[in-house]
Chain A
Amino acid sequence: MADFSLPPETERFRAELRAWLATSLTPRILAAGRRGPTDPDAFDTIRAWNRELADAGWAAISWPPEYGGRGASVLEQLVYVEETVRARAPMPLNVIGLNNIAPALMQYGTEEQKRTLLPRMMQADDIWCQGMSEPEAGSDLASLRTRATRDGDHFVVEGHKTWTSLGHRADWCQLYVRTDPEAPKHQGISCLVVDMHLPGIEARPLPTLTGETHFAEVFFDDVRVPADALLGPLDGGWQVATTTLSHERANAARLYAELQVRLEELTADLLRADEDGASVASDPVTLHRLGELAVRADFLECLCKRSISAGLHGRDPFASASLAKTVWGELGQDIAALAYDALGPDSAGGRWADGRLSARSLTIAGGTTQINKNITAQRVLGLPRR
């Protein structure tokens, strides 16, 4: 029978984590989390906090114990995401590394790579980025053009990546390159683990529409990468990419938890505005919009849990997971719109105005909503291709 409750041992796990977060998350760390890693001071504070998480065994709970994780269950991961998001813990600098790159390193990496790279990733001693998107390969990721040509015991890399999170701060890159230009597009891709300090690599910050520099463009000009940097089979990079992407599972919890927190913060700011003489928190139109957003956020929670449950019980979570991502993007934008409409451009130091603009990424990053809908229409509903 459908059961939304969590087992007592998972709730004990929640209590333990919550207690630890309550004592460890100092105001300084919370402030750094609000400013984000693009602020250099905040970057250092978050890095120190990531180390603290690692030392306490809370940095990568899903990793097996041999690599410093806890071998956490899916439900523990769900609780972990909920609690860290609700406590406003800063997003780990290596969030992509911990969730997406590490599983590929564990599956395909050499013992040497695992032994040297994983602990430093967990400690945030090394910052990792992922070289996927290119100017001509956005939603159509498999059309990427950055080339790696074998030359003796090296690959020579030539190309241009973009939208690389923290690319300009990174020490390592999980880089997707074309190694067989003659093969069909999904079959000629390989994955390399590249030291970002090699000669010929230039990472330029790519300011987004709010002026923030979270992303970089990364240029590879005749970069000689040792051949043992190959991760997984030669020309088997697409398979490496899809294993990493399918490892996320409980991360669906992030979708609803973040939006619920944002709704609460918006509501708190509405109340603050009223204390300053406005009357937005009692305005029927605002309340109506707020209620509509809250229903969708809470239904999104149930949808994400259905997706997690499907994976847990041997069913295919694809349909619910891709719908959840679409809902998340649209809902995040609607929350941002209400915040801007109700609170105006100057509220909270311009935070909601920035949020109104930055919310555009929610339906673009990681594959646009429109392409996602095409995929759902064809793969889930079985509608014909043109």
Chain B
Amino acid sequence: MNLELTDEQLALRDTVRRFLAQKAPVASFVRPLLDDPTGTTDEVWLGLADLGTTGLLVPAEHGGAGMSMAEAGVVLEELGRALYPGPWQSTAVCSARLLTRAADAADADASEVPKLLRCIAEGSVVATVVLHDGAVEVAGDGGAEGTILSGAVASVPDAAAADVLIVPVAERDGSALFAVDAAAAGVGATPLHPADPTRKRGALTFDGAPARRLGTLPPDAEGVLADDALVASAADALGAAQAVLDMAIEYAKVRTQFGAPIGSFQAVQHLCVDMVETVELARSGVLHALWAADAAGDEERHLAAVRCKAFAGRLATVGDAAIQVFGGVGYTWEHDAHLYLRRLLGWSACGGSSDRYLEELGSRLVRSVQEARARP
């Protein structure tokens, strides 16, 4: 058991933090992109690729670093801390992980998978995975062009930024994976305007869109991907919560009222410690879930991910409490506190409210005790 970050992970953290502070500060990068549907610029994207981050999870034989979710978590925390609005998670985590699983289960059609993975690592392709609960279907064989997809998906992360849409579609036995060029005829993307403008989402329509079959997916690959996505978002939110907490504590040390720093008032101190408690609990759960994503069995991996999501509502209270510490200035548009609260609220609402997941975890506990009692 060793839960300390390695020197390499610390170096990765510092490198990404420095890069984002220089090239993607909130004031001059994030804020101008608040209304932009893609949230990305070539300069910053290629910079992230040059640092090796887009290929972090891509296996070495496909041009990546072949690292684990623990390292992806280090990057995600920095992206959350910087309110980074671009498609890193969709490309470097969700697409890379799903394509890697498709490559592992390689069949005859898998030839484009290594190329896509290589492009992701290089930074030449932005991709997103379209999870749709059966809303997209194979509408027919498009002859020379390949397969045709049809359907509508209400909300897809980074739909406007993606060059390539990765679409799993259920088949008779298992799922097949398709690639659709976002610019192709028959693909429509409409930006959504969610409460969190630092994370981009869009509605997608496929109206006879040409798709290339990438191969078949191993059983439950979509379930595993859903867990990966939960953990990734949790790591991002953890970074955002830590950042706004750090800002609030620094402010409490310097903001003077009644002739004393407000951080010397016990009521403010306890507010800060309560925030730290929440952030450190979340950090503990995320650390475990990141480890479990690669190292644990299915049950533990899934539970660890669901716990992170179930805690999202509570994590969002860190944004609330931070604004309370900032007082009036934290209530202004100019101050970044609301952007952090929005990031946390976005995670809290994404995939359904935390309440649903909490109830699910309660039911799981009841089931497991029931099973233990049934045993002789």
Contacts and interface: CB of A to CB of B under 8 A. Distances in A.
A247 B77 CA distance: 34
B280 A303 contact: yes
A309 B269 contact: no
B273 A377 contact: yes
Interface in B24-69: 68
A140 B275 CA distance: 25
Contacts of B269: 373-374, 377-378, 381, 383
A2 to B, nearest CB: 5
A182 interface: no
A136 interface: no
B3 A4 contact: yes
A2 B310 contact: no
B interface SS class: helix
A268 B369 contact: yes
Interface string A269-305: 0110000000001101011111110111011111101
A9 interface: no
B366 A290 contact: yes
A195 B165 CA distance: 78
Most interface-central of A263, A370, A386 (chain B CB within 10 A): A386
Contact of B290 (A2, A268, A301, A315): A2
Contacts of A312: 1-2
Nearest to B296: A4
Contacts of B295: 3-5
Contacts of B370: 271
Contacts of B310: 291-292, 295
B257 interface: no
Contacts of B363: 287, 291
Interface string A312-349: 11010001100100110000000000000000000000
A385 B253 CA distance: 10
B9 interface: yes
Contacts of A243: none
Most buried by A among B261, B272, B284, B285: B284
Contact of A299 (B9, B249, B307): B307
B191 interface: no
A267 interface: yes
Contact of B253 (A281, A309, A374, A382): A382
A268 B1 contact: no
B285 A380 contact: no
Contact of A384 (B1, B253, B290, B362): B253
B359 A313 contact: no
Given A268-B373, A303-B280, A381 B291 contact: no
Contacts of B6: 1
Contacts of A327: 277, 281
26 contacts: A1-B6, A2-B290, A4-B295, A270-B366, A290-B362, A290-B366, A291-B362, A299-B307, A300-B284, A302-B285, A302-B288, A305-B1, A305-B3, A308-B1, A312-B2, A313-B2, A320-B280, A326-B277, A370-B266, A374-B269, A376-B276, A377-B273, A381-B249, A381-B272, A385-B264, A386-B264
Closest A-B pairs by Cβ, 6 of them: A291-B362, A287-B362, A302-B284, A291-B361, A377-B269, A290-B362
